[in-house]
Amino acid sequence: MFKKLLCLVSVCTFGFLAQTAFAADETAGVNAAVEQLRVLMVTPDKAALEAIVADGLSYGHSGGKIDTKASFIDDLLTGASDFVSIELSDQTVRVSGNVAFVRHTLFGATADKGKMPGTVKLHILSVWEKQGGKWKLAARQAVRI
């Protein structure tokens, strides 16, 4: 009886540790995607943006504008939305299956439409979806602080 109990405890412990390791790997992958997007928003690259943004993106700006994948990428490439720098802080990540919820504070220097200098400080909630083994930005909402 003791051996069966010990075996059961061992299996449960192994399962818990494996799941914890999996969750840590998933969180690291989400963090890497968030960082890649941060870099791409400062130095836009069309192909890289196309790859990291989900086709059905819904992006709510702090001023009320709603972007799609196409308009979000176009604004970055044309300079309508021009980030000189972006710093992220207070980031939290919660992964649930193939969806991740990320919150952070964004502080950025901007030059939108050539107007310099500008600054923005926002709370951001983004939703990432794992598609084809890669995390893609599915939704994002910004709120001014």
Mean residue pLDDT of the chain comes to 89
CATH of the domain at 11: 3.10.450.50
H helix intervals, the chain: 2-42, 46-52, 69-78
In this predicted model, what pLDDT tens digit does every residue of 20-43 receive, in sequence order? Answer: 444 567 899 999 999 999 999 999
Full-model pTM: 0.82
Question: What pLDDT is stored for residue 60 in this prediction?
Answer: 97
In the chain, the number of structural domains is: 1
For 105, the domain range is 2-144
Condensed to tens digits (0 to 9), the pLDDT of residues 72-101 reads 999 999 999 999 999 999 999 999 999 999
